[in-house]
């Protein structure tokens, strides 16, 4: 059916009336948001005086539940939660701006994970490598650092595991970032594309699409997808495989979204910090340990975990690099280190191995992340 055509004056008049109403409502919304932020600033003062943490996830969950119960429509609960997640991010930012280190440059998947996990609130600082992020968090230059630890297709990020062995930072959270690749170019089409830039991993993950659509182009490897986008922005006869965020940051257009062969590509990121996290009731604990060089040592060390019925969700081994053929292990179990059962098991394990360190207890992350400002509902 054809859309009704604006009928000159009556349409304009009615539209102006409705828009005036919207302006009036917006005025009230702005005033209410600022009124809420004023109260939040007072909460911030109180928290500073009592040395209490700014972020209170359990309170935020209660707020989300409450607004959904109050909601009578027509707004969808997901949209409402999204709006409130941004309001609360502004609230936290006002109370205490956070500094978050991530693996740069801008618009990498690490950047997206950091933005999504912290709901866009804070000062996000790019670092050149994972070691620098650990060092920055350790020396207190940034409160948090976001580092990749495992990809669902490529496996462990061994550099991160090695740094966990050496460093004194705590794991404060985990975040699963869906990895999706877009083809970006200056003109937004495939015409005249002679070269495609990207990191080796996206090339491997988009192989079928490239074969089907750009079988004859040169594939040029870059150190990151952001670097690839930067190069594509300087060459009109090229394209880059990178994130949608990179298109915004480097002034490119999206030729095609989600060109990866498998849609189940996820990277697990760890959020490093210094503060231990209180139990939430649905936690994970990461533990690092070194076993002695005798047959069955690993089995003996892990036996208490099985005996207590604790669910081990991951076990990785890495060379200690201090002695040939000696290894350290990183184990993730369900539960918080303050849970009586976990406490008992860790204390028994400590007596059975050469060295054991708890890397952190933190709330379990949801696969696919949670809705945040970067994953805003597309239609609204
Ligand atoms: O209630 C608090 O503790 C607040 O700091 C306020 C507020 C909010 O904006 O509602 C902000 C940050 C916290 O994570 C939880 C809630």
Q: What is the domain-level CATH number for residue 343? A: 3.30.70.260
Give the residue, out of 39, 56, 67, 97, with the most ligand 1 atoms within 8 A of its beta carbon, to mutate for a pocket test: 56
Q: What is the domain-level CATH number for residue 154? A: 3.40.190.10
Residues 287 and 251 in one domain: no
Beta bridge partners of 363: 283
Q: Which atom of ligand 1 is nearest to the CA of 43?
A: 5
Given this model, what pLDDT does residue 5 score?
56
Given this model, what pLDDT does residue 284 score?
97
Residues 88 and 135 in one domain: no
Tell me what the pLDDT averaged over the chain comes to. 90
Domain assignment present for residue 272? The answer is no
Lowest mean pLDDT among 128-132, 238-242, 326-330, 376-380: 376-380
Mean pLDDT of 288-309: 93
Domain assignment present for residue 77? The answer is yes
Q: How many residues are listed for the chain in this entry? A: 380
Domain assignment present for residue 380? The answer is no
- How many angstroms separate the alpha carbon of residue 178 from the centre of ligand 1? 27
pTM beyond 0.90: no
On whether ipTM exceeds 0.95, the answer is: yes
Confidence bin at 6 (pLDDT 50/70/90): low
Residues 70 and 109 in one domain: no
Radius of gyration of the chain (CA): 25
Given this model, what pLDDT does residue 368 score?
66
Given this model, what pLDDT does residue 375 score?
38
> From atom 10 of ligand 1, which residue's Cα is the shortest distance away?
88
Residue-by-residue DSSP string for 9-61: HHHHHHHHHHHHHHHHHHHHHHHHHHHHHHHHHHHHHHHHHTT--S--HHHHH
Domain tally for the chain?
A: 4
Ligand 1 binding pocket (C-beta < 6 A) is 40, 43, 55-56, 59-60, 63, 88, 91-92, 95
Confidence bin at 7 (pLDDT 50/70/90): low
Beta bridge partners of 148: 269
Residue 372 has pLDDT above 80, yes or no: no
Residue 380 has pLDDT above 60, yes or no: no
Confidence bin at 76 (pLDDT 50/70/90): very high
- How many angstroms separate the alpha carbon of residue 92 from the centre of ligand 1? 7
Residue 377 has pLDDT above 80, yes or no: no
For 41-56, how does the pLDDT look when each residue is reduced to its tens digit (9 = 90+)?
A: 999 989 988 888 888 9
Percent of the chain beyond pLDDT 90? Answer: 73
Domain span at 323: 283-363
Residues 122 and 190 in one domain: no
Domain assignment present for residue 325? The answer is yes
For 243-266, how does the pLDDT look when each residue is reduced to its tens digit (9 = 90+)?
A: 999 999 999 999 999 999 887 889
Give the residue, out of 41, 53, 66, 88, with the most ligand 1 atoms within 8 A of its beta carbon, to mutate for a pocket test: 88
Domain assignment present for residue 302? The answer is yes
Q: Choose among 160, 47, 141: nearest CA to 94.
A: 47
Given this model, what pLDDT does residue 48 score?
84
Confidence bin at 370 (pLDDT 50/70/90): very low
Residue 285 phi/psi, 5° resolution? -125, 130
> From atom 8 of ligand 1, which residue's Cα is the shortest distance away?
88
Give the other-Cβ count within 10 Å of 101's Cβ.
Answer: 27
Long-range Cβ pairs for the range 93-97 (8 Å, 24+):
93/121, 93/122, 94/37, 94/40, 94/41, 94/44, 95/40, 95/41, 95/43, 95/44, 95/47, 95/54, 96/44, 96/48, 96/54, 97/122, 97/123
Cα 257 from Cα 182, distance rounded (Å):
4
């Amino acid at each position: 059916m054809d859309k009704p055509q604006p009928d000159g004056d009556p349409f304009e008049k009615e539209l102006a009336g409705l828009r005036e109403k919207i302006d009036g409502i917006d005025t009230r919304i702005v005033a209410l948001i600022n009124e809420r932020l004023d109260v939040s600033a007072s909460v911030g003062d109180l928290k500073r005086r009592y040395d209490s943490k700014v972020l209170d996830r359990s309170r935020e969950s209660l707020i989300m539940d409450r607004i959904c119960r109050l909601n009578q429509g027509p707004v969808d609960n997901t949209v409402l939660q999204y709006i409130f997640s941004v309001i609360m991010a502004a609230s936290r930012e006002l109370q205490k701006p956070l500094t978050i280190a991530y693996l740069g440059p801008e618009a990498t998947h690490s950047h997206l994970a950091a933005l999504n996990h912290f709901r866009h609130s804070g000062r996000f600082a790019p670092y050149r490598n994972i070691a620098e992020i650990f060092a920055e968090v350790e020396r207190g230059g940034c409160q948090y650092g976001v580092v990749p630890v495992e990809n669902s297709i490529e496996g462990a990020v061994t550099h991160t595991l090695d740094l966990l062995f050496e460093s004194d930072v705590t794991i404060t959270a985990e975040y699963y970032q869906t990895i999706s690749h877009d083809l970006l170019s200056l003109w937004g089409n495939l015409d005249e594309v002679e070269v495609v830039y990207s990191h080796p991993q996206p090339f491997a993950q988009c192989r079928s699409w490239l074969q089907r659509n750009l079988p004859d182009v040169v594939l040029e490897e870059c150190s990151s997808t952001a670097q690839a986008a930067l190069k594509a922005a300087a060459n009109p006869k090229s394209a880059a495989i990178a994130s949608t965020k990179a298109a915004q940051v480097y002034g490119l257009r999206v030729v095609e979204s989600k060109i990866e062969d498998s849609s189940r590509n996820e990277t697990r990121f760890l959020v490093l910090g210094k503060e231990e996290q209180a139990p939430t009731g649905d936690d994970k604990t990461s533990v690092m340990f070194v076993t002695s060089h005798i047959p069955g040592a690993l089995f003996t060390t892990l036996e208490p975990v099985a005996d207590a019925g604790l669910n081990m969700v991951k076990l990785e081994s890495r060379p200690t690099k201090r002695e040939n053929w000696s290894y350290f292990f990183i184990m993730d179990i369900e539960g918080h280190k303050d849970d009586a059962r976990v406490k008992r098991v860790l204390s028994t394990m400590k007596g059975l191995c050469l060295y054991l360190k708890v890397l952190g207890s933190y709330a379990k992350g949801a696969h696919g992340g949670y809705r945040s400002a970067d994953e805003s509902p597309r239609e609204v």
